Structure 1
Amino acid sequence: MTENLITLNKKDGTSRLAEAKPLIKIQGTLTSSIQLRGEETQEPYYYAFIRLKGQNIDLPVIFKIKDDQENPTKPELKKNDGVEITGHYSNSPHNVHKSFTAYSYQLLHEKRIRKKCVGCCDTFTCSQSKNYDYCKNCEINGSRYVPRENKCPECGDGSGTIKFPNQPPRSCKTCSLKNQAILAESREQLPKFEKELEEIIQTRQRLQSHE
């Protein structure tokens, strides 16, 4: 079964067919590591080679996977991984060899599990190895895990800023209250520190007077 590649018209928010290119799925084994190409251009991309089942020739794969800020995302794949990629074949006029443009991928034989998002409580699917706590729409500051180091239960990393996908950042109330409490405690301790400092200065002066 094939799918059609949909792109978003950023002017009016509507979707349209992008050249009606069919999306297909192919399976194989990566024969190289993932490498970044085109760093000096406006559209860098990640690149690798895959050997399809039953073939002896490696097929070049261009990964066009982007994050919410439209930055290229490096696939979490390594050499010798069995993978299923979704995309379409490309025939560039500048290259006589066929290549494949991939928009998504999935490791073969990787167990998928259903989980309940701790943020919105909706269910989502992820790989067992990832075992995310949040769905993609509820990730906080780019992370889909509940913080394990207890830095901050609200923003997660203790940065004082909360960044949800496709939303402007906002201040973390928990970090703000914590900082205010630390500041108030410091002000309460200030007279004590000033008194101790004065005693140290007086002691030093007495010692110097006896020399």
Structure 2
Amino acid sequence: MNPIQIIDVIKHKNAYGYQWFVVVDRMPKRVYTRTGNMLVSNDSGFYDFLAIEGGTKAFGGRKFSIQLDDGSTFECHGQVWSCGAPKGTEPTVQLGIGTIERLRDCYVFSGASVSKARLQEWLDANEPSTDYRKYDRRETEEYWLEVLEACPSLKKQVSAQRARALKRRGVLIFKDGSARFWSPYFERKKAHKAKRTAEAAQ
């Protein structure tokens, strides 16, 4: 399997500081090495850390199997907990990861730990993005136009003179025969995206 390639890095500012989100060409394959009660997976510098600590409430008691690097599987039923990196692991950074395909289907980044050196290597050669929603299909004009197609009531008919005035302000005008329409919904979406992009760049 080819090493994971970092496509983009998003530096997202929120009320508590900055968060990092990494867009990759494929999600990490989680195959774990067991050392005592520790389970560690590492795919191209993308890590996951688990600890066998007993009990029945880890991950809400959900039952699942994980693959070990010796070819066997380990059955989890509430006794395996997410944990921090064990001693001896290279420095890592906690962040969110996702592929473009997964994000377009559902805009949720998965949690992961990545090698600090791997992340820094990409940042040394590239500029991170600042728009957290840049891969969200719901934040594209293509999607908004689909909404308008499904909900024509979101458009308002205007006179030809009013349409010309709106167009000079940068408003998108829709035509249906001789009728002219504009959409407050579409314009609010555009304005919100422009504001968010400007704020993220500050």
Q: TM-score range by the shorter chain?
A: under 0.3
Tell me which structure has the larger Cα radius of gyration.
Answer: 1
Greater share of helix residues, 1 or 2?
2
TM-score for both structures, normalised by structure 1: 0.24
Q: Which has the higher contact order (CA 8 A, sep 6+)?
A: 2
